[in-house]
Amino acid sequence: MARRFRVIVVGLGGMSKEWLKYAAAHPKTIEIVALVDVVPQAAEQRAREFGLNVPIYTALTEAIQAGPADLVWDITLPVSRESVVAEALSSGLDVFSEKPMAASWEAAVRLRDLAKASGRRFLVMQNRRYHPQIRQFRDLVQSGMIGRPGFAAADFFLGPHFGGFRETMSEPLLLDMAIHTFDQARFLLGSNPTSVYCHAFNPPGSWYQGHAAAIAIFEWADQMIFEYRGSWAAEGTPTSWESNWRITGSRGTLIWDGSNPPYAEVVEDEQSKEFMRPTRRQLATTPAAGAGGHGDALDAMMAALELGTSAETECFDNVHSLSMVFGAIQSAEHGQKILLPEGLEQFP
């Protein structure tokens, strides 16, 4: 019989709906035992919406002291991440959190170290890597079909009017959204970059106070290059939320627009002397399994916790995605290429 986890949910804003929908669909393995929010009315609303007859608190400390729990779901704003996760880990509880892992690089390193010292699990929600088509796309990359990958590029252009905290952040795109695309790049390429050069800016007509757009170039040790172009103030002809991807290799190119099945175009005859060598189109052969999103991500996270196996989004791995974020921010601030930390301590 599957283990049943007693869960404290912290942060009952809009994103909590995705997590609570998952809990409602898995009553045999998840028992919500408490809701925590600094605004109790938000927690009360979610309790009514999901039929939860559980205690409501304004502080995690109260919920932990009130009764037994196994797991904390941290769905708070990034600025609260360190305090919530640190308290949960220090209290002997495992933690699943929304992205980003932390609101600063120093906080991420501290939480990584605390997870190791406490022996508890800290997993981060990176739902974009569980899209069924990106799994197909990765299989195409790893199949060797296009030879050795040398240049990857992702375009992200959308114009969402969120309101709230994002529109007042200094780096809304890089800190709140680009973490998804950067994590996808690591997932697709199977390794970590060594440096970044980034230019962040606020384009004309932007309704954000901070930098809503950025261009970043990441280098890998094996001479692989990943270019990111993004804007959160781009209205008209949007890309998908998954970004528009192109990966070129020594024998061809892979394409994924984030909405339709990925495909490759591969050189038919490598010995050809033609000016433009003919190519053939190749579709993914692996099935696009799953629905993607929070559901598949939480399935993987819960399975890792129950079975004691490693998870793709364990904090020890996810910190590498976060180093791309803060490396890009630091590069934009200083106007120069930044080396990414190999030992995950401080930036060089």
Q: What is the residue-averaged pLDDT of the chain?
A: 94
Spell out the residues 6+ positions from residue 181 whose beta carbon is closer than 8 angstroms to its own: 128, 154, 156, 228, 230, 243
Is residue 63 scored above 80 in pLDDT? yes
pLDDT digits (tens, 9 = 90+) for 211-222: 999 999 999 988
Domains of the chain, first to last: 5-124 (3.40.50.720), 128-289+324-339 (3.30.360.10)
The span from the CA of 248 to the CA of 154, in Å, is 12
pLDDT band at residue 162 using 50, 70 and 90 as cut-offs: very high
| Confidence at residue 331, expressed as pLDDT on a 0 to 100 scale | 97
pLDDT at 268: 81
Sheet bearing 338-339, strands edge to edge:
279-283, 263-267, 252-256, 244-249, 149-157, 225-231, 213-219, 195-201, 338-339
Q: What is the mean pLDDT of residues 170-174?
A: 94
- Point out which residues pair with 123 in neighbouring strands: 96, 314
Q: What is the pLDDT of residue 117?
A: 97
The predicted structure's pLDDT at residue 276: 79
Q: Are 111 and 86 in contact (CB under 8 A)?
A: yes
Give Cβ neighbours of residue 122 (< 8 Å, ≥ 6 apart). 85, 89, 94, 95, 97, 111, 112, 115, 314, 315
Say if CB 246 and CB 230 are below 8 A apart.
Answer: no
From the number of C-beta atoms within 10 Å of its C-beta (0-12, 13-18, 19+), residue 172 rates as buried
pLDDT tens digit sequence for 13-50:
999 999 999 999 999 999 999 999 999 999 999 999 99
Statement: residue 8 has pLDDT above 70: yes
Q: What is the pLDDT of residue 344?
A: 52
- Quick one: tokens of 283? 């579709």
| pLDDT on residue 165 | 86
Distance of CA 207 to the CA centre of its chain: 24
Query: Residue 284: its pLDDT value, please?
Result: 87
What pLDDT does residue 346 have? 59
Mean pLDDT of 64-90: 96
- Residue 51: left if φ>0, alpha if ψ -120 to 50, beta else—which one? left
In this predicted structure, what is the pLDDT of residue 140? Answer: 95
Q: What is the pLDDT of residues 270-287, one digit of tens each?
A: 777 778 788 999 998 888
For 95-109, what is the mean pLDDT? 94
* pLDDT the model gives residue 30: 98
% of the chain residues with pLDDT over 90: 87
Q: Is the pLDDT score of 158 beyond 60? A: yes
Tokens describing residue 336: 């120069």
Per-residue pLDDT at 206 exceeds 80: yes
Q: What local confidence, expressed as pLDDT, does residue 271 receive?
A: 76
Helices first, then strands: H and E counts in the chain: 9, 15
Give the model's confidence band at 348: pLDDT under 50 very low, under 70 low, under 90 confident, else very high.
low
Please check the confidence at residue 150 and state whether its pLDDT lies above 80: yes
Q: Which helix (H) or strand (E) segment is 216 a member of?
A: strand 213-219
According to DSSP, the residues that pair with 218 across neighbouring strands are 196, 226
Determine if the pTM surpasses 0.75: yes
Q: Give 94's pLDDT tier (boundaries 50, 70, 90).
A: very high
- The pLDDT, as a whole number, for residue 278 is 86
Name which of 338, 68, 108, 57 is nearest 218 in CA terms: 338
Residue 3 has pLDDT above 70, yes or no: yes
DSSP 100-147: SS-SSHHHHHHHHHHHHHHT--EEE--GGGG-HHHHHHHHHHHTTTT-
Which pLDDT value is given to residue 269?
Answer: 75
Which pLDDT value is given to residue 343?
Answer: 55
226 vs 290, which has greater pLDDT? 226
Task: Work out the pLDDT band at 329, boundaries 50, 70, 90.
Answer: very high
